[in-house]
Structure 1
Amino acid sequence: MRRVSVVGNSGSGKTTVGRALATGLGVPFVELDGIFHQPGWQPLGTPEFRDRVSAACAGDGWVIDGNYSAVRDLIWARADTVVWFDLPRRTMMRQLLFRTLRRGLTGTELWNGNRERLGDLLSTDPQESILRWAWARHETYRTRYRTAATAPEWSSLTFVRIASRTDARHLLERAGVSSG
């Protein structure tokens, strides 16, 4: 395990585990949201996004966190492992709610000056509310990665399904990372 794609729904723990895994493996950590979301939440154009991600996954080792279909082919063509977070919806939503409240209350900068706004929690638009987005995407991600794990075109990849905090802890322990 040297080139790892970490995928799954928002709030599932991808970034936390991905960072720890990268540290344990001694490789760079790349958060796709940090590349894609430009100042003012403006999306990076697809050609430049693909160029930047291609450069990020050119190395001998890395952990890349994110679900972007526009670059999945680039990442998975170089990856040896896909860590797929498939937590129960209630667990993921609870984690996401607390994370979003913490970020909103503290004004935590995410990427390129962007911050989550507490007011967006009340929005019914999945493009505005991370909670609505995650709720709506849950089954899509589950189906996408369950299918990919058995697809012939990805047979060279090792898929590691994370369905609980215990699964995540075991993954980190196997990678030599203290789960604390």
Structure 2
Amino acid sequence: MLTSVDQLPRCPRRILIAGVAGVGKTTLARRIADIAEVTHTEIDSLFHGPNWMPRAEFLDDVRDLVAQDSWVTEWQYRTVRPLLAARADLLVWLDLPFWTTAFPRVVRRTARRRLSREELWNGNIEPPFRQILTDPEHIVRWSISTRHKYRDSVPQVAADFPGLTVVRLGSQREVERWMQGPLAHAVDRRGAPGAT
């Protein structure tokens, strides 16, 4: 597993971002898409249909996504994780501190979206705050209950897919260091003789 200072073996073209809710997966995916000149597809937009129901086309849409030459998306949804990992050449694990970074972000984001009634995917909006008390899958409760899930799953996917480069970033400072260092360097050398 690489760190924020380790050079990438090649310029990534198919990139996954892993991490708990609120850690900044989608924000980082958008930033990487700009730097690496690849398309970002927010996987939540493929999964959630109206009224938060899973879309019947989800699996087919993910298959279409991974068949493309280049992309970046979030590594979510157990049913498609193996499919995503099999085609990806890079997985970036945002392993930022939960209680001081991810949890405050998910609370702020959820509150902002609810208060502004921001439309998310396919007409969905965040549910009323009171559902935090009654719905075990409310995003705030779900973020707490799943905060450790990547500690085992990321090392396992690295073992299962030996061609997949995995980078673990443990702080926002490491994210910035990696973006400006190894990622920028890999993209810059993309057209160099012998580069892959």
Q: TM-score by structure 2 length? A: 0.81
- Structure 2's unaligned 5+ residue stretches are 1-11, 186-196
Per the TM alignment, residue 33 of structure 1 is displaced from its structure 2 partner at its CA by 0.7
Greater helix fraction, Structure 1 or Structure 2:
1
**CA shift in 2, pair 1:124/1:92, >3 Å:** farther
The aligned length equals 172
- Counterpart amino acid of 2:15? V
CA contact (8 A) 2:48 2:55 kept: yes
Which residue in the other structure is 1:173 paired with? 180
Structure index of larger Rg: 2
Identical-residue share of aligned pairs (%): 39
CA contact (8 A) 2:132 2:141 kept: no
Q: Distance in 1 between matches of 2:75 and 2:123?
A: 19
Per the TM alignment, residue 121 of structure 1 is displaced from its structure 2 partner at its CA by 5.7
Across the aligned residues of Structure 1 and Structure 2, the Cα RMSD in angstroms comes to: 1.7
Per the TM alignment, residue 105 of structure 1 is displaced from its structure 2 partner at its CA by 1.2
- Structure 1's unaligned 5+ residue stretches are none
Matching residue within 169, 180, 184 for 1:162:
169
Q: Distance in 2 between matches of 1:23 and 1:123?
A: 39
Q: Distance in 2 between matches of 1:7 and 1:120?
A: 29
Per the TM alignment, residue 124 of structure 1 is displaced from its structure 2 partner at its CA by 4.6
- Counterpart amino acid of 1:138? R
Q: Distance in 2 between matches of 1:105 and 1:60?
A: 39
Greater strand fraction, Structure 1 or Structure 2:
1
Which residue in the other structure is 1:32 paired with? 43
Q: TM-score by structure 1 length? A: 0.88
The CA deviation string for residues 117-148 of structure 1, in whole angstroms up to 9 with x for no partner, is 24256325322x21110110111222211333
**CA shift in 2, pair 1:121/1:166, >3 Å:** farther
Q: Which protein, 1 or 2, shows the higher relative CO under an 8 Å CA cutoff with sep ≥ 6?
A: 2
Is 1:93 aligned with 2:100?
Answer: no
